[in-house]
Amino acid sequence: MSVYNQPRKRVIQFIILGMVMLIVVRLFFLQVIEKKYSKLADANAVLRKVVYPSRGIIFDRKKRSILSNDAMYDLVVTPIAAKNIDTSYLCQILQIDKEEFKRRIATAIIKNGSRRVSVFASLLPPDMFGRLQESMYMFQPGFDLVQRQIRSYPFSAAANILGYIGEVSPQMLVKPAYSAYNQGDYLGMTGLERAYESVLMGQRGIQYLVKDNLNRPQGSYEKGEFDTAAIAGKNLHLSLDIDLQVLGEHLMRNKIGSIVAIDPQTGGLLAMVSAPTYDPNLLTGSYRARNFSRLFVDTTKPLFNRAIQAGYPPGSSMKPLTALIALDEGVITPSFGFPCHGAYVNCGRPIACTHTTPGHAANLRLAIANSCNAYFVHLYRLEVDAPKWGGVKKGHQKWHDYISSFGLGHRLGVDIPGESGGKAIDTAGMNKLYNGQWNSCSELYVGMGQGQVVATPLQMANAMCIIANRGSYFLPHFVHSIDGDESDPILKKYKEKHTVAHVADTSYRSVIYGMQDVVESGTGRVAQIEGVIVCGKTGTAENNAVVDGKLVKLKNHSVFVAFAPRDNPKIAIAVIVENAGFGATYAAPIASLIMEKYLHDTISVKRKPMMKTLLEYNTLDPIVREKSKLDSLNGATAKMTSDQILKLYFRD
């Protein structure tokens, strides 16, 4: 039979070899001809993981960290492993109900699948974290705690300066400028966090990991040959003095307004308060979203940085500039006097002056000291009507050029975003406003800082720097050095000295003496500091608002600008308290306390009662105050009594 069936053996051998040939041909096609499979395999198996460096830290001028990184914890869940646990106990710790628990698990599964890790509760509050950590063994391995870096603010201050970080939005991601970011990345949204984003963020590293079929990392790819290490963000060293900042924020309690203090010798900002403010720690951590929306809708606009974004009429604080222009144009000499009897009447409608006694504007020094309105509106008229310009239009443009060179009417370029340029009307603007029919009487109020001139507190403080330095200034800025390096190209423009036109030293001297008189014998006597010659100028700025469609005159802004000491000045300051009243009542003492704190490092005990009064002043409009939810948001300092705050400054 075996011999009979020899051909059948051949057939079976043929079937086997035929099938094997088919397999070999297919394998040859798969493994040798077709190249796409190795690419598919790489896409399958290599995970590109971004390694986040720690963000740069921000220090103040005395090297205290005012913005650092803190560790918080997320509770993460791997849904498939989260079984057989005491769900009700976990819910109790997390203060959620069972429904919420189920919803979060479902969300996690939808988002990342049941085998991958998803965030279950992010940024646990410390007490919750503590309790969870104790009983974590009960919920593992389904649940785990994962550390995460967040920003923290040890002084709970300078919120508007430092800014906050936020998740990159889809709208941002489509722009080429944000091509380096991925969905879910955090970046600086405002303040220094945003302006110095490229410095603070450091360089992200990329790690290539081998992954398995469920995208779980299994180890490094090719022993890390293609990985790039993350480089930590650089630290910023600021000119800011956090003590001064905190003092400013205390003094501005229950007030709306702003304080800007600059070191005139460097242009470095010493303090920048925008009131009301908020505790920056509110915008990190567990309740960020809730707090943000509350701050965002609050009637007092705490997220609005008034120091650089709000425009105020400078009021009388403008007068020294008007004087400088007049002196430089040669239309007056320091001995120029104006016979004011309580009003300026040369342009028809009288402009009132607080002083009626004749001789209060007998010369420039007196006029500044007594803040004579008539004197300065007249100076403006002299300036623009000066025969050498040959017409008011040319003259006003010249005036505008002067004002511009003093830093008004345009952005200064401070190193935080959102700065507003204020307003200083030029000839084209005047033509538009008056249809080309105008003269020196039309807007003579600008001479006393009212009307068509609006300045930010930063611009007012910067103008003080120019006077203090007798004609030179540095662009105001916060960052002194980046990781100790002052020569970083980003900082170059802040290290350049700017000289204002050609105003003579003698002109400055007469203005400065006038300002010295303001403090020593004039309207700003409250600003005196023991042993220091303070030069200042009060302002009581008139302002209007449109309420219910009608232009309503509101209570005056209290303004004070100053610098000290007179010779070799160390601090220039501008303080505005909105709708409070006389400059001398609110702004001047606040400025004085800050200057004293900066120059003497303490505040003399004699001033304790004054400080107490300031702390207790409440200039908020009762309606605004009632609507604002800020007290509950403002953190520890808002709930402190004035006595508690005073204890921080005076030992007894």
Partner 1 sequence: MINRRQIKLTEGIDWPIMGLYFALVFVGLLSIFAAEYREGDNIWNDIIHLNKNYARQLMWLGISGVLATIIWLTDSKFFTATANLLYAGGILLLLLVLGIGKDVKGSHSWLVIGGFQFQPAELTKLCTNLALAKYLSSLETDFTKLRPRLIAAALALVPCGIIILQDETGLALVYFSFFLVMYREGLPGLLLIIAFSGIVLVLSALLVDKNILFIIFSVLTVLVIYFSRREIKRHRSRLAVILGIWAFCSVFVMFIVPMAFTKVLKDYQVRRIEVMLGKENDPKATYNTRQSMIAIGSGGIFGKGYLKGTQTRYDFVPEQSTDFIFCTVGEDFGFLGTLIFVGLYVGLLLRIIFVAERQRSTFSRVYAYGVASIIFFHMAINISMTIGLAPVIGIPLPLVSYGGSSLMTFTMLIFIMLRLDADRQMVLR
Residues near partner 1, by CB under 8 A: 1-2, 5, 8-9, 11-13, 15-17, 19-20, 22-24, 26-28, 30-32, 34, 36-38, 40-42, 44-46, 210-214, 218-219
Least CB distance from residue 49 to partner 1, whole Å?
15
Least CB distance from residue 39 to partner 1, whole Å?
8
Question: What DSSP designation does 607 have?
Answer: G
**CA atoms of 109 and 336, how far apart (whole Å):** 82
- Rank residues 113 and 451 by Cβ distance to partner 1 and give the closer one: 113
User: Token pair of 174, please?
Assistant: 């489509």
**CA atoms of 339 and 345, how far apart (whole Å):** 11
Least CB distance from residue 222 to partner 1, whole Å?
10
Least CB distance from residue 598 to partner 1, whole Å?
60
Least CB distance from residue 8 to partner 1, whole Å?
5
- Rank residues 34 and 485 by Cβ distance to partner 1 and give the closer one: 34
Least CB distance from residue 118 to partner 1, whole Å?
20
- Rank residues 169 and 215 by Cβ distance to partner 1 and give the closer one: 215
- Rank residues 86 and 212 by Cβ distance to partner 1 and give the closer one: 212
Q: Decide: helix, strand or coil at residue 578.
A: coil
* Alpha helices for 120-196 (secondary structure H): 126-134, 159-162, 170-173, 191-195
**CA atoms of 239 and 280, how far apart (whole Å):** 19
- Rank residues 13 and 92 by Cβ distance to partner 1 and give the closer one: 13
Length of the chain: 652
With beta carbons less than 8 A apart as the criterion, state whether 572 and 461 touch.
Answer: yes
Q: Decide: helix, strand or coil at residue 160.
A: helix
Instruction: Provide the total of helices (H) and of strands (E) in the chain, helices listed first.
Output: 25, 22
- Rank residues 32 and 547 by Cβ distance to partner 1 and give the closer one: 32
CA atoms within 13 A on the CB side of 333: 1
User: Token pair of 13, please?
Assistant: 């051998």
- Rank residues 38 and 54 by Cβ distance to partner 1 and give the closer one: 38
Least CB distance from residue 117 to partner 1, whole Å?
17
Q: Can you say whether the dihedral through the CA atoms of 213, 218, 223, 226 is positive or negative?
A: positive
Helices 242-251, 608-616: inter-axial angle, 10-degree rounding: 60
Least CB distance from residue 184 to partner 1, whole Å?
25
Quote the longest CA-to-CA distance of the chain.
Answer: 147
Least CB distance from residue 84 to partner 1, whole Å?
23
Q: Decide: helix, strand or coil at residue 384.
A: helix
- Rank residues 183 and 213 by Cβ distance to partner 1 and give the closer one: 213
With beta carbons less than 8 A apart as the criterion, state whether 392 and 439 touch.
Answer: yes
**CA atoms of 652 and 648, how far apart (whole Å):** 10
Least CB distance from residue 183 to partner 1, whole Å?
23
Q: Is 419 left (phi over 0), alpha (psi -120 to 50) or beta?
A: beta
With beta carbons less than 8 A apart as the criterion, state whether 578 and 255 touch.
Answer: yes
- Rank residues 218 and 604 by Cβ distance to partner 1 and give the closer one: 218
Least CB distance from residue 99 to partner 1, whole Å?
31
**CA atoms of 275 and 251, how far apart (whole Å):** 10
Neighbours of 95 (CB within 10 A): 10
CA atoms within 13 A on the CB side of 203: 8
Kindly tell me the burial class for residue 455, based on how many C-beta atoms sit within 10 Å of its own C-beta (0-12, 13-18, 19 or more). Answer: buried
Residue bearing tokens 């380096």: 180
- Rank residues 34 and 643 by Cβ distance to partner 1 and give the closer one: 34
Least CB distance from residue 228 to partner 1, whole Å?
21
- Rank residues 220 and 472 by Cβ distance to partner 1 and give the closer one: 220
- Rank residues 210 and 297 by Cβ distance to partner 1 and give the closer one: 210
Residues contacting 73, CB < 8 A, separation 6+: 123, 124, 129, 145, 146, 147, 148
Least CB distance from residue 227 to partner 1, whole Å?
17
User: Token pair of 354, please?
Assistant: 């607080």
User: Token pair of 367, please?
Assistant: 């006029």
With beta carbons less than 8 A apart as the criterion, state whether 254 and 580 touch.
Answer: no
- Rank residues 45 and 610 by Cβ distance to partner 1 and give the closer one: 45
Q: Decide: helix, strand or coil at residue 106.
A: helix
Least CB distance from residue 129 to partner 1, whole Å?
31
C-alpha angle 234/235/240, rounded to 5°? 150
User: Among 101, 249, 107, which residue's Cα sits nearest to residue 634?
Assistant: 249
- Rank residues 31 and 335 by Cβ distance to partner 1 and give the closer one: 31
